[in-house]
Amino acid sequence: MIDLKALERDFETISQRLRLKGVEEELLRKVKKLFEEKKEITTKIQNLQAKRNTLSKQIGVLIRESKKEEAEKIKNEVSNIKKELEELNKKLKSIEEKLNILALSIPNIPDSDVPVGKDENDNVEIKRVGEIPKFDFEVKSHDELGEKLNWLDFKRGVKLAKSRFVVMKNEAARIERALINFFLDHNKRYGFEEVWVPLMVNETTMTGTGQLPKFKEDLFKIEDEDLYLIPTAEVPLTNLFRDEIISDLTKPIKLTSYTPCFRKEAGSYGKDTKGIIRQHQFDKVELVAITRPEDSNKVFEEMVEVASKALEKLNLPYRQVMLCTGDLGFSAAKTIDLEVWIPSQNRYREISSISNTRDFQSRRAKIRFKDGKKNRLVHTLNGSSLAVGRTLVAIMENFQTKDGKVEIPEVLRKYML
């Protein structure tokens, strides 16, 4: 959640940064109006409290001077001030509650070094790694290869569920399993502790990382239960520390987890309808870090490296891209995407997003750490390492052969014995 005190203190500067992220003027006007009302009521409360204190002192003096009638008049005045203060404090509490509700819909403030832009076309490429493969035959898409090799069964996926579900068979299923194990082992070498988490979480947990209320339409909810299917392991991993004060954060807490993920993809109608690039259910290995504020930049760079090295071990060509303000996610202050080359589309596609959310999620989830005698908000970071299905797509397309087969990357072969 955005720091409301900071926003109130420097409204014009911060609201300008929020506009770059697409925050609507109407929302900002509502917040500004509530700040003004809050300030007006707070001033009234302070003035009345000062007046009450002055009058209360006069009562004691008048009683000592045996001026009981005058003392009684002032007592009545003090009593009326007390009633007025009670009403004003109720109004103040109501305004603060309204502000807190609105704050849940306000995204994180982009870092100052995030490039300004409207959408993905304004993202900034950082570097490219690996050579794009050249083929002396007509390249097939992964869905075409998958059906021909009897690896991907889209018809039965629809029969079992609906569109954007798939049944993986034979080598596709084995590669999917191999990738999961490879990613987890790879992440462990970088000091990320493996965790197994629930695939369903409650509303408070979803709110803690920013999925609710903003992205309610994109979530699968369990009927008649306070439970949602997770859209990413970031949600349960980060919320492990919700409402906690971490006693020792000398070293960052680094976690990794494999989970199936579930998304309605409500805002992606008509996009990637063929194949498995955009599914309602998909596998992902996630990285999450909980750090002291002064460590988060270093850990962010490390997480980008972890995900990048996994792609390099698979010999997949990719590029790193800094997201612009308009393409930045709701909770993110800064994001670097890794995009892998997809030959059939002749372009790079996102396979990982590594984000630093600063104290945005920790303020919502109340995750703090002991810093001497003070409790401070942690910084939280998250990233895919990697989206398993999209990695399978990249392997199938980049390593396809002229005779219609797919070569398995060497690093995965030991996982497929």
C-alpha separations of 405 from 137, 146, 265, 408 in Å: 13, 10, 31, 10
| Whole-angstrom distance, CA of residue 339 vs CA of residue 336 | 10
| Whole-angstrom distance, CA of residue 30 vs CA of residue 37 | 11
Dihedral of alpha carbons 305, 307, 313, 317, sign: negative
Amino acid in the structure at residue 281: Q
Rg (CA), the chain: 28
Residue 128 annotated in active site: no
State the DSSP string of 120-146: GGG-EEEEEESPPP--SSPPPPHHHHH
| Whole-angstrom distance, CA of residue 318 vs CA of residue 127 | 9
Residue 390 annotated in active site: yes
| Whole-angstrom distance, CA of residue 177 vs CA of residue 137 | 30
Residue 353 annotated in active site: yes
Phi first, then psi: what are they for 355, rounded to 5°?
Answer: -125, 140
| Whole-angstrom distance, CA of residue 237 vs CA of residue 382 | 9
Residue 363 annotated in active site: no
| Residue 334: both structure tokens together | 């800064």
Q: Name the active-site residue from 353, 355, 362, 384.
A: 353
Q: 284-297 burial string, b = 16+ CB within 10 Å, else e?
A: bbbbbbbbbeebbe
Q: Name the active-site residue from 263, 292, 358, 363.
A: 263
Label the pairing between strands 367-371 and 379-387.
unpaired
Q: Name the active-site residue from 286, 296, 390, 397.
A: 390
C-alpha separations of 252 from 63, 97, 302, 380 in Å: 63, 33, 12, 10
Q: Name the active-site residue from 174, 278, 349, 376.
A: 278
Of 257, 274, 234, nearest to 393 by C-alpha is: 274
| Whole-angstrom distance, CA of residue 315 vs CA of residue 133 | 11
Residue 350 annotated in active site: yes
- Residues catalogued as catalytic: 263, 278, 350, 353, 390
